[in-house]
Amino acid sequence: MSGPEAIRRTWALTKGHKGQLALLVLAGVLLEVVVGAAFGWIPVVGWVVSGTIAGLVTAVWLVAGALVFRAARIAPASTSSPA
């Protein structure tokens, strides 16, 4: 599968769920900002807490991406163009 074809399939798979995906990304960014502001000024402890939260948010994003990729491999190819 070529890159452009993969992008078209991903757009097709996420159709109807773009709002949920955008909220997931926004929630992760807000969580990292809030935790960084709350604990970032505390030496060592703040860095550990902020790093842990950032790692967890990144893990959630990776799992969400992996699930979309898995669905793209399982779902039959769609001929529709991206919205």
More reliable by pLDDT, 7 or 82: 7
pLDDT at 6 over 80: no
Any domain includes 67: yes
Any domain includes 79: no
Q: Which pLDDT score is estimated for 67?
A: 80
Any domain includes 11: yes
More reliable by pLDDT, 12 or 79: 12
CA distances to 37, 41, 63, 71 from 68, in Å: 32, 37, 9, 5
Any domain includes 81: no
pTM, to two decimals: 0.53
- Expressed as residue numbers, the domain containing 56 is 3-74
Q: Are 46 and 54 in contact (CB under 8 A)?
A: no
pLDDT at 79 over 60: no
Any domain includes 29: yes
Number of domains the chain is built from: 1
pLDDT at 24 over 70: yes
Query: What integer best gives the mean pLDDT of the chain?
Result: 78
Any domain includes 83: no
Angle at 42 between CA 36 and CA 44, to 5 degrees: 95
Any domain includes 17: yes
